[in-house]
Amino acid sequence: MNTFTYSYPTKVYFGEKAAESNLPAELAKVGKNVMLAYGGGSIKKNGVYDELMSILKNAGKNVVEFSGIMSNPTYAKVREGARLARENGIDFILAVGGGSVIDCCKVISAQAKLSDDLWEFENDKHGFPSEFIPMGAVVTAFGTGAEMNNGAVITHEGKKIKGALWGAFYRFAILDPAYTMTMPMRQVVSGAFDALSHCMETYMGSPRTTNLSDEINEACQRNIIRNLRATLKDPNDINARSELVWAAAMAENGMLKIGKITDFQAHMLEHQLGAYTNCSHGEGLAVIHPVLYRHMLPEAAAQFTRLAVNVWGISADGKSEGQLAGEFIDALADFIKEVGLPTSFSEMGISNADFKAIADSTVLTGGCCKKFTREELLEVLNECS
């Protein structure tokens, strides 16, 4: 295992009624002006909005609402939120939703306190913001684990880049599995696969020999696979949903990355696909992973073999490493079909994307066991179509 330092700043309140039990005490620690940030309004239909507004009002807070945060949040939306925060002297941001809302607010938190343009500050000047509006997150849609780190994926429409910006960590995250019970099943499946993808992308980094972080990771992958199947069998199974919510958080709270250099080449490719097509993140990953992994197989055979045996339960009897590695990819591809995820871009309605521009602008990750060329990423995209 590589040398590491581990420190984690986000307090997690997990379980049913977690907001009711813990949010009042957290709000007592912050200033009067609170920005309540959310997406398209589903929290107003499922009762979460009314519950949180009641808690905020009882805490004596002046609430400024910032709504309409879209999937694949744009940098323009970040700037809009930062302006609103400055104009209203916001003391605290309460982000309510899934990864898109939670990511957007991390960057708003930084941009509102920074005179420079944050995109240029981080990407051109290679700076990192040092002052933030404090934040809390209430998770209503799981998958990305966004509440567990300070990275955000933001689409700069003018530059045609969907990439990472770095903002603040959340002071606390409220994970109430009951809040996720009204998620559309398509979103549940997509989110669960995104969590599985995060685990696999971390696992496929280095070191590539057996280590404790990867052994914990294998358990997380088994958990996601088992509980997604249970959720599809019974969408009202709160225990299965609870497991998925926590597995998604575990995938991004740093525990699986201890001592690891991660891969995330599939994510980088899907991000740029999203910059050009605004596709569903989890669905795009489901299409890309098996194809990309077939290209990685010669270099990744040892890790794929461990995944075949330790995650997917494939018998190793009489089989070579190459056979087991191939069977892992087959098992992953079969699972994608089983849970109803798309297996090609055409199934997602993507037919005229500029694959060359996407490949040419994709970040090539240093942690990937295979050093992809842009030409080979273009092959992958074409094979996904």
pLDDT class of 3 with cuts at 50, 70, 90: confident
- CA 302, 368, 163, 276: dihedral to nearest 10 degrees? -80
Same domain for 212 and 151: no
Same domain for 103 and 220: no
Q: Is the pLDDT of residue 278 over 90?
A: no
CB-based contact 359:377 (threshold 8 Å): yes
Residue among 180, 189, 198 nearest 263 (CA)? 198
Burial 277-292 (b: 16+ CB within 10 A, else e): bebbbbbbbbbbbbbb
333 belongs to a structural domain:
yes
Cross-strand partners of 166: 151
Encode pLDDT of 10-59 as tens digits: 999 999 999 999 999 999 999 999 999 999 889 999 999 999 999 999 99
- The pLDDT of 65-77, averaged and rounded, is 96
Residue 153 CB burial class (10 angstroms; 0-12, 13-18, ≥19)? buried
pLDDT class of 8 with cuts at 50, 70, 90: confident
User: pTM (2 decimals)?
Assistant: 0.95
- CA 169, 174, 177, 179: dihedral to nearest 10 degrees? -100
Quickly list DSSP for 75-108: HHHHHHHHHHHHHTT--EEEEEESHHHHHHHHHH
Residue where one domain finishes, among candidates 180, 209, 227: 180
Same domain for 215 and 355: yes
Residue where one domain finishes, among candidates 180, 214, 245: 180
Question: What six digits make up the tokens of 249?
Answer: 């958080």
AA identity, residue 282: G
Residues 6+ apart with CB under 8 A from 278: 71, 72, 155
CB-based contact 194:240 (threshold 8 Å): no
- The domain total for the chain is 2
96 belongs to a structural domain:
yes
Looking at the chain, the whole-number percentage of residues with pLDDT higher than 70 is 100
CATH assignment of the domain containing 379:
1.20.1090.10
Encode pLDDT of 334-376 as tens digits: 999 999 999 999 999 998 899 999 999 999 999 999 999 999 9
pLDDT class of 2 with cuts at 50, 70, 90: confident
Residue among 202, 179, 312 nearest 253 (CA)? 202
Question: What six digits make up the tokens of 269?
Answer: 């490719």
- Its domain, for residue 348, covers 185-384
Give the pLDDT confidence score for residue 4 in this predicted structure. 82
Cross-strand partners of 12: 173
Q: How many CA atoms lie less than 13 Å away from 150 in the CB half-sphere?
A: 19
Same domain for 265 and 196: yes
The enclosing H or E element of 125 equals none
150 belongs to a structural domain:
yes
Question: What six digits make up the tokens of 76?
Answer: 């323009």
Same domain for 125 and 73: yes
Q: Is the pLDDT of residue 189 over 80?
A: yes
